Chain A
């Protein structure tokens, strides 16, 4: 662990200890130091600024309420990140239920991507490099991300955007490592299928598992 990470952890530990000793303002240091990281996660998960801000606020409120449960040897940044991920799952599931209630049963979303709008992505196929350049494609990628189930989205963002380990993802999903790994796999598989036309402008999809 490098020195700056170590010093941040040390400073966090002091702030936590002061907060627990009744100095509420000491929690401010933790909020100010880690808000931007949580915002990045929240934005990737929610896809919009307003929801991301609400997730950040709620994550820190929950962290404050549960601070007595925080193990002093643990890393506060990881801990509050996990709280934000957990809350995001609950929030996305809740939102999904509400959306489903509002919509007619025939258009109700399921956890599958069978009705994924990305399946209708036009077949004009730019190169993968263009994925990071085209505004429209960025939007389509974001839509693809939003079409995943809450658990898949969290698992994917944690694994492939924030580089988290499977064990950490399992903790956020409140499942085991094997299930977390499967969730990451399903997410990648769905995104790949959704973006296949963008990525591979071939007439026929490649048949996997055939003899070379």
Chain B
């Protein structure tokens, strides 16, 4: 075949699929086209390697200082802030728990032994309510732990941008920890009210680390990062979070509505938890 035209050569180098097999075969057999392709590739690699000056570690901060006075205040919309998945979930959890508690109260009031109702029916109603409550809490806490694990992992992997730099931009981790704190408090209190001390204890330990991270400066030294990491390691927090997530998944799987199961058995499992 003919040598590759310039257009074909450039398109081939750029990964163009049309006619690729035929061109590949030709290039493999044609020293001249192979050399042209090599030169083109080297030229493009040289452009890619053209050095760009490093604007400096604090460049982002300088840009912010330059533009901040020129940014107009945006009109505050309170609703987008409330519509975050995390806040919606926390709100839904509270609403569901309130509804379940209300319905459970009605059932147990309506059907009591003194009213002539069966004691078994009353305990079944309460146990069902407790079971639903537990499932709602488990789902929400499971999600929360997943997000918390990501932040902890992020801290474990946080490194300075380049070798020799001793500062780490910690703003992302800080902001995320801040967001997780509200949820964490809510779930810990709910777990305590539900008598689930296992979950409450892990959430309590998690809350302390999240507080540390949320109150860290925007930029931290590698020594500060090391200290937070040390704390996570000493408490075995990442491990505990993972174990709890796994346990919650297992509890969630076993507490899914299934064939006839006596209320007494379900209450027993709730107490075990």
Say if the beta carbon of A64 comes within 8 Å of chain B: yes
B-side contacts of A191, CB under 8 Å? 43, 47
Say if the beta carbon of A92 comes within 8 Å of chain B: no
- The residue in chain A whose Cβ has the minimal distance to the Cβ of B66 is A57
Q: Contact check, A56 vs B172: say whether CB atoms are below 8 A apart.
A: no
A-side contacts of B73, CB under 8 Å? 22, 24
Q: How far is the CB of B228 from chain A (nearest CB, A)?
A: 16
- Complexed CA–CA distance, A155 and B109 (Å): 73
Within 8 A of B (CB), among A82-140: 128-129, 131-132, 138
Q: Contact check, B53 vs A49: say whether CB atoms are below 8 A apart.
A: yes
Q: How far is the CB of A55 from chain B (nearest CB, A)?
A: 11
A–B complex contacts, Cβ < 8 Å, 19 sampled: A7-B150, A11-B176, A14-B176, A22-B77, A24-B74, A29-B175, A31-B67, A35-B63, A53-B63, A64-B71, A132-B49, A161-B48, A188-B14, A189-B10, A192-B6, A200-B39, A206-B32, A208-B9, A209-B5
Number of contacting residues on B, CB 8 A?
61
B-side contacts of A29, CB under 8 Å? 171-172, 175
Apart from A35-B59, A206-B3, what 17 extra A-B contacts exist at CB < 8 Å? Answer: A14-B175, A21-B81, A27-B71, A29-B172, A31-B64, A32-B61, A32-B169, A35-B55, A60-B63, A67-B74, A138-B51, A141-B46, A188-B10, A188-B44, A199-B42, A208-B9, A212-B30
- The residue in chain B whose Cβ has the minimal distance to the Cβ of A186 is B10
- The residue in chain B whose Cβ has the minimal distance to the Cβ of A72 is B80
- Complexed CA–CA distance, A1 and B157 (Å): 17
Q: How far is the CB of A7 from chain B (nearest CB, A)?
A: 5
Say if the beta carbon of B193 comes within 8 Å of chain A: no
Q: How far is the CB of A193 from chain B (nearest CB, A)?
A: 9
A192 touching B2 in the complex, CB below 8 Å, given contacts A21-B80, A33-B171: no
Interface of chain A, main secondary structure: helix
- The residue in chain B whose Cβ has the minimal distance to the Cβ of A54 is B66
Chain A residues near B (Cβ < 8 Å):
3-4, 7-8, 10-11, 14-15, 17-22, 24, 27-29, 31-36, 39-40, 43-44, 49, 53, 56-57, 60-61, 64, 67, 128-129, 131-132, 138, 141-142, 145, 156, 159-161, 184-185, 188-189, 191-192, 195, 199-200, 206, 208-212
A209 touching B176 in the complex, CB below 8 Å, given contacts A32-B169, A44-B52, A61-B70: no
- Complexed CA–CA distance, A20 and B73 (Å): 10
- The residue in chain B whose Cβ has the minimal distance to the Cβ of A16 is B80
Q: How far is the CB of B235 from chain A (nearest CB, A)?
A: 22
Q: Which 3 A-B pairs have the closest CB atoms?
A: A22-B76, A32-B60, A128-B42
- Complexed CA–CA distance, A160 and B15 (Å): 12
Q: How far is the CB of B99 from chain A (nearest CB, A)?
A: 28
- Complexed CA–CA distance, A145 and B48 (Å): 12
Say if the beta carbon of B50 comes within 8 Å of chain A: yes
- The residue in chain A whose Cβ has the minimal distance to the Cβ of B157 is A4
- Complexed CA–CA distance, A208 and B60 (Å): 48
- The residue in chain A whose Cβ has the minimal distance to the Cβ of B86 is A14
Q: Contact check, A61 vs B67: say whether CB atoms are below 8 A apart.
A: yes
A-side contacts of B47, CB under 8 Å? 141, 145, 156, 160-161, 191
Q: Contact check, B172 vs A17: say whether CB atoms are below 8 A apart.
A: no
Q: How far is the CB of A195 from chain B (nearest CB, A)?
A: 6
- Complexed CA–CA distance, A17 and B77 (Å): 10
Q: Contact check, A31 vs B60: say whether CB atoms are below 8 A apart.
A: yes
A24 touching B43 in the complex, CB below 8 Å, given contacts A4-B154, A132-B49, A188-B10: no
Q: Contact check, A43 vs B53: say whether CB atoms are below 8 A apart.
A: yes
Q: Contact check, B53 vs A28: say whether CB atoms are below 8 A apart.
A: no
- Complexed CA–CA distance, A191 and B46 (Å): 12
Interface centre among A28, A142, A210 (most CB of B within 10 A): A28
- Complexed CA–CA distance, A15 and B218 (Å): 14
- The residue in chain B whose Cβ has the minimal distance to the Cβ of A25 is B68
* Binary contact track B76-117/A, C-beta < 8 Å → 1, others 0: 111011001000000000000000000000000000000000
